[in-house]
Amino acid sequence: MKGFRYDTQAGRVVFGVGSVATVRWEVEQLAMRRVAVLCTPGRAALAETIVRDLGELCVGTYTQAEEHVPRPVVDNALRVVAAWRADGLVAAGGGATIGLAKAIALETGLPIVAVATTYSGSEMTPVWGITDNGQKVTGKNLVVKPKTVIYDPALTTSLPARVSATSGMNAIAHCVEGLYAENVDPVTSLLAEEGIRALAQSLPAVVLEPENIGSRSRALYGAWLAGTVLATVGMALHHKLCHVLGGAYHLPHADIHTVILPHVARYNAGAAPGAMAAVGRALGTNTEDAPGALFDLALSMGAPTSLVQLGMAREQLDEAAKLVVQNPYYNPRPIENEAIRQLLQAAYDGVRP
């Protein structure tokens, strides 16, 4: 076995039906006394419940979190949180809300309690991202990682089927890239394979049976593993491509991950056979058809499988390919403009890898 370094920044995780009721206790353990609650407009009702439970510990609710964490939203939220003299944040929602909390923490150092309501896994990572002038800038900083994460499967029952499917595919993407990361290690690889397996087995049932708490619990378990993978090792082409498409063309974050993942898996398959073998095992197929099985999983849930479904124009593909190859970064297969352009064309057309 070759040498490796295993870094972990594990925080506190509270998992189980009804665990949202522990928010106040968790806030008190972190010595927060002036808490700002963050959410999107669609999660205002959940935020109100948390505010009631927090009582005098809550100083206000900011309900304008947006996907891709636009810089103007971050700046506005920073002004509001400063005016409230908040000493901590409760982020109630998915990647948009947790992303906003991270952006605030990046500049203020405020601790975060995350109440996760989707399957993206963002809540487990020190990765932040802010979109400014059409470019999404990302980085890693331990200050943005939530101190406590609450996973309550009951909070996900109101998720639309498409959001369940695409946020789960987003989490699977973390696991797939973790398997061929530059700093891959055996522990993280075990977590990644198990995360793919848990999500692939549970997500179709979540889509078909929205009230199936058992399946939702297993999907959240998979999301937890996926977020842990993303927090532990680096990412590669898939995440770079999705950040470019989301930031430059304003495409839905989880939907992009869903569409792009099978094609990046095919792009990297020859250079990462061990990773594809693990993906195949997790999906119950062989190494060669692992990329196709990822496509089939998305298709079986009614999730988008082409960029045209997301509103991207064919004439934008050339520019997108150039943006992807602009800055060098790790990937098991070299990043080449012509090959990336072909990948994007296949994703645009929705062709099964």
Residue 5 pLDDT > 70: no
Question: Into how many domains does the chain fold?
Answer: 2
pLDDT band at 4, cuts 50/70/90? low
The rounded percent of the chain whose pLDDT value lies above 90 is 86
Residues 81 and 98 in one domain: yes
What's the rounded Cα separation, in Å, for the pair 159 and 178? 27
Of 131, 156, 181, which residue sits at a domain end? 156
Residue 161 contacts residue 212 (beta carbons within 8 Å): no
Of 138, 156, 174, which residue sits at a domain end? 156
Residue 201 pLDDT > 90: yes
pLDDT of residue 2: 67
Residue 248 pLDDT > 90: no
- Whether 268 maps to a domain, the answer reads yes
Output the domain CATH number for residue 178. Answer: 1.20.1090.10
More confident residue, 157 or 328: 157
Residues 334 and 237 in one domain: yes
SS3 content of the chain, % helix, strand, coil (to 5): 60, 10, 30
Cβ-count burial 29-49 (b if 16+ within 10 Å, e if not): ebebeebbbbbbebbeebbeb
More confident residue, 243 or 197: 197
- Whether 3 maps to a domain, the answer reads no
pLDDT of residue 220: 94
Of 156, 178, 193, which residue sits at a domain end? 156
- Whether 5 maps to a domain, the answer reads no
Residues 128 and 64 in one domain: yes
Residues 61 and 201 in one domain: no
Phi/psi at 204 (nearest 5 deg)? -60, -40
- Whether 226 maps to a domain, the answer reads yes
Angle at alpha carbon of residue 281, lines to 245 and 349, rounded to 5°: 30
Residues 193 and 81 in one domain: no
What is the DSSP secondary structure assignment for residue 136, as one 8-state letter? E
Phi/psi at 167 (nearest 5 deg)? -70, -35
What's the rounded Cα separation, in Å, for the pair 23 and 80? 22
pTM for the model: 0.88
Output the domain CATH number for residue 120. Answer: 3.40.50.1970
pLDDT band at 136, cuts 50/70/90? confident
Residues 149 and 174 in one domain: no
Q: Which of 130, 159, 125, 158 is nearest to 142 (CA)?
A: 125
Locate tokens 């061929």: which residue? 180
How many angstroms from the chain centroid is the CA of residue 236?
14
Residues 145 and 175 in one domain: no
- Whether 4 maps to a domain, the answer reads no
Q: State the residue range of the domain holding 287.
A: 161-349
**H/E stretch holding 81:** helix 71-84
Residues 91 and 119 in one domain: yes
Joined together, the tokens standing for residue 345 give: 């064309």
Residues 16 and 115 in one domain: yes
The 10s digit of each residue's pLDDT in 29-46 is 999 999 999 999 999 999
Residue-averaged pLDDT of the chain: 94
Residue 198 pLDDT > 70: yes
Residues 115 and 46 in one domain: yes
Residues 267 and 233 in one domain: yes
Residue 332 contacts residue 268 (beta carbons within 8 Å): yes
Residues 30 and 100 in one domain: yes
